Amino acid sequence: MVWDETLQLFKELTEAPGAPGFEGPVREILARHMAPLADRVYTDNLGSLVAEKRGTAASPKVMIAGHMDEVGFLVTRITDEGFLRFQPLGGWWSQVLLAQRVHVITRNGPIEGVIGSVPPHILPEEKRKKPVEIKDMFIDVGATSREEAESFGIRPGDPVVPICPFTVMKNEKLLMAKAWDNRIGCAVAALVLRELKGEEHPNTVYAVGTVQEEVGLRGAQTSANLIAPDVAFAVDVGIAGDTPGVSKDEALAKLGGGPQVLIYDATLIPHTGLRDLVMDTAKELDIPIQYDAMPGGGTDAGRFHLQGKGVPSIAISIPTRYIHSHAAILHRDDVERTVRLLVALVKRLDADTVAKLKAY
């Protein structure tokens, strides 16, 4: 893997704003990187991006997808004093928000702000013991009135995203950024195309960036309807359990331990035959894999597998710390191994293999 080019891709993707329903800047970057590697690039009617690479056969159709959106916010109201009330887009834990910087994405460009609330110094003791609810927070953009905020170009309905520059940490294997959930899945889809350049594969590959995953797997449904895949992989992030206070029963994976195979979530029990193919391929290639099961939540694979008559689907994830916050961390080796595993799987998914999977 050419890491200088790859790090540039990571920087561009993670620093771009892309709240659910507002993925345009991410789509433009992803299309620019995918277009030279694909035979055709197009979108569905919600804005999910599809890069189609034809192999030696038109079918089976193999879909590899990451979602372009990140958890963010939506401006709902500008107060008379110029503060912004907001609605979460995706799942946020209130404790990670206060005093964090954000960009309000306006028609005139991004406006910096900070998330605030009533100071704890003037709260009654009982209230100080409780987390501040998101409904009681606001965004301060430095405006002194509604009129001034509006003069900045801010309107209700504008998206808001965290601020966090892409950072190679002191241990250069670890990479910190906002929106790893799920720009890393988008990057992996693009990197698979890059590794397949000039290589034969017995199928047609569809590298996809879906929209609106964080608010209900919406782009997963429309893009799968468009493509009608025979096999689908959702590439997402998984919970890394290698931080203090997390038990092995709560989260198994560690950074650097290899890609995660999601064996259960609230939206998907992975297709048995495809799961076994993933595990067997990883073993043959000496790629370490980890496992995870989540009683709640889900990935785009939960919608892929319900398309048409049913699509063998599975989620392969990159272990990541601090997802759904302003700054998350993942490990280069896990990315590289995930790409290598997916490339190997693409090369094995010929018509006979897929037919056997469907009969499993």
User: Pick from 108, 138, 162: which residue ends a domain?
Assistant: 162
Report pLDDT for 123. 76
The average pLDDT across 74-88 equals 98
Residue 167 lies in a domain: no
Mean pLDDT value across residues 77-98: 97
Q: What is the pLDDT of residues 190-242, one digit of tens each?
A: 999 999 999 999 999 999 999 999 999 999 999 999 999 999 999 999 999 99
Q: What is the mean pLDDT of the chain?
A: 95
Crossing angle of the two packed helices 351-358 and 272-284, in degrees rounded to 10? 130
Tell me, yes or no, whether 191 and 304 share the same domain: yes
Determine the pLDDT at residue 67. 98
Answer yes or no: do 99 and 62 share one domain. Answer: no
pLDDT at 127 over 90: no
CA distance 264 to 267: 8
Question: How many C-beta neighbours within 10 Å does residue 95 have?
Answer: 9
Give the mean pLDDT of 163-187: 98
Whether 211 and 319 map to the same domain: the answer is: yes
Going by pLDDT thresholds of 50, 70 and 90, the confidence category of residue 1 is low
Domain that holds residue 43: 3-70+178-358
CATH number of the domain that residue 83 is part of: 2.40.30.40
Q: In this model, does residue 64 exceed pLDDT 80?
A: yes
**Look-up of token digits 């599809």:** 50
- In a domain? residue 212: yes
Is position 122 within any domain? yes
Residue 317 predicted with pLDDT over 90: yes
Strand 290-293, strand 260-264: pairing? parallel
Same domain, 354 and 246: yes
Residues 197, 333: one domain?
A: yes
How buried is residue 334: exposed, middle or buried, by Cβ count under 10 Å (0-12/13-18/19+)?
Answer: buried
> Active site includes 213?
yes
> How far, in Å, CA of 342 to CA of 351, rounded?
17
In-domain check, residue 99: yes
User: Looking at 15, 213, 214, 284, which residue is catalytic?
Assistant: 213
Over residues 5-10, the mean pLDDT reads: 96
162 versus 249: which is more confidently predicted?
Answer: 162
Residues 283-304 pLDDT 10s:
999 999 999 898 888 999 999 9
**Is 298 inside any structural domain?**
yes
Q: Are residues 313 and 188 in the same domain?
A: yes
For the stretch 259-280, pLDDT in tens is 999 999 999 999 999 999 999 9
Question: DSSP strand E in the chain: where?
Answer: 40-43, 49-54, 61-67, 72-78, 84-89, 101-106, 109-116, 138-140, 159-162, 167-168, 174-177, 204-210, 231-239, 260-264, 290-293, 313-320, 328-331
